[in-house]
Chain A
């Protein structure tokens, strides 16, 4: 895996927030890499700064220290495109116009925009809903639009911030398989934040485990479960062993986070 060139290089990134006149360290010297075409999952207890890290990668937040480098192979396309947890679609735009939004802002011509929207909507199975408004769609469908919107921009790296967390269990399962299919088709580099270890094991090539506040890299695990991968992978002994191993580490982090919250209450 290390033979592939690095696509995302995060070195010693720290993020400090100012809150009520105190500065709070959210991320503490995070270093990690994602290779070209890799599906990298980031897990950690609540408050470990998973989303903060993603926002730094997306350019929505500036790190207080350290360096983020994303290799651009194709000039003219954006470095990152983000799929947001609460989908964050524009309610006043149809599904199709949501998908073409980024292209429109970059001045891509109308014909090309429409062609890309058709292609992406076909990929996420929403061709028939191109003229619908977001409020007419189910939660799963909205998130498909969010994915199509991100992919339409053809970014160097696809960032996903717990995109399936708000969905019901059945829809989530279907969407996980969809994601695997889309990723296999496009071969994009993906950085995927989730709080579900099962999801990370199903989707990821590697899993980065962050510690509780402040977020540090605790461990990086390789998921050697082969590809293409489907839900049946959950029955394999490797899966069970890896889940057990990561969960025992994560449990410690969660316990620490909870203890710290309790301590904070009494302080």
Chain B
């Protein structure tokens, strides 16, 4: 309890700002400032959220979405880090792939669904691959940059002290790129969630995106918001989880802002 109190003492802004927003929303809907038909009070939404959880609807759809994100993120992470490292290490590969990536990357991922469906079995696999596309590019970009920004002097010193080939990669180039790789993974995970919801809306009847869209179409606005909250919460948990993992795994990274603050 005291630990919680101390934690709140440090993080009160982060906890307080979303709470304040919810209170303001509650008040605006209750006083009629917002139309309750479209903006139900958060307290009403919570009641619906409990119903959805109690009858299992939420768990079924939620699990579906989580599994898809898991596969898509794993695919994007493995390929993105692999290709990113290769591009960071080999100039010719980078020069060859950069323009291709630059053209494909800005295309909204959902638009890849039909294309992907021609290439891989349509259905779940196509859905997962489509979800992975944008995440892959983000992770590959940040990983490439991660390798390229390593201090040349540090690499030179490592070579001077006998690190060559695989050892140079494992002890210098990979760890040097890791902070950026983690940033890429965090961005990629966030985008996987964004894209999976969008793909679920257009292509399937199961998953949080589908639940949200269905609720909207049959005007179960409270259920729509409830799903909305779950998606938002999922995003926050995944993002902070990965950030916590980074702090745990990379204790040597110093935070510039925190240091000067």
Interface residues of A (CB under 8 A from B): 58-60, 78, 81-82, 84, 86, 88-93, 101-102, 104-106, 133-135, 149, 153
Contact = CB atoms under 8 A, between A and B. Distances in A.
- Interface of chain B, helix or strand or loop or mixed? helix
A90 B171 contact: yes
A69 B176 CA distance: 34
Nearest to B152: A88
Centre residue among A58, A88, A89, A153 by max chain B CB count within 10 A: A88
A102 B178 contact: no
Contacts of B172: 90
Interface stretch (B19-27, B73-81, B115-123, B247-255): B247-255
Interface stretch (B86-94, B160-168, B189-197, B217-225): B160-168
A188 B156 CA distance: 23
Interface residues of B, number: 23
Contacts of A89: 154, 157
A90 B158 contact: yes
Contacts of B160: 58-60, 81-82
Given A92-B176, A133-B252, A102 B161 contact: yes
Contact of B156 (A60, A91, A134): A60
A90 B157 CA distance: 9
Contacts of B171: 90, 93, 101, 104
Contacts of A104: 171
B154 A102 contact: no
A81 B161 contact: yes
A92 B156 contact: no
A206 to B, nearest CB: 25
A160 to B, nearest CB: 13
Contacts of A105: 161-164, 167
A102 B162 contact: yes
A139 to B, nearest CB: 14
Nearest to A159: B160
Nearest to B155: A88
B161 A101 contact: yes
A84 B157 contact: yes
A153 B160 CA distance: 11
Contacts of B253: 91
A153 B161 contact: yes
A59 B161 CA distance: 11
B40 interface: no
Given A101-B171, A133-B251, A88 B156 contact: yes
B82 interface: no
A135 B153 contact: no
Contact of B153 (A58, A88, A133): A88
B162 to A, nearest CB: 3
A90 B167 CA distance: 14
Contact of A82 (B154, B157, B250, B254): B157
A107 to B, nearest CB: 9
B235 interface: no
A60 B167 CA distance: 18
A64 to B, nearest CB: 19
Given A86-B153, A105-B163, A92 B158 contact: no
Question: Which of B159, B162, B164, B172 has most chain A Cβ within 10 Å?
Answer: B162
A84 B162 contact: no
Given A84-B157, A88-B157, A78 B254 contact: no
A243 to B, nearest CB: 32
Contacts of A84: 153, 157
B70 interface: no
Interface string B119-153: 00000000000000000000000000000000101
B163 A92 contact: no
Contact of B178 (A88, A92, A134): A92
Contact of B162 (A78, A82, A86, A135): A78
Contacts of A101: 158, 161, 163, 171
Contacts of A106: 162
Contacts of A58: 160
Nearest to B251: A133
Interface in B212-258: 250-254
Nearest to B159: A60
The 10 closest A-B pairs by CB, nearest first: A105-B162, A88-B157, A102-B161, A92-B175, A135-B254, A133-B252, A88-B153, A92-B252, A105-B163, A101-B161
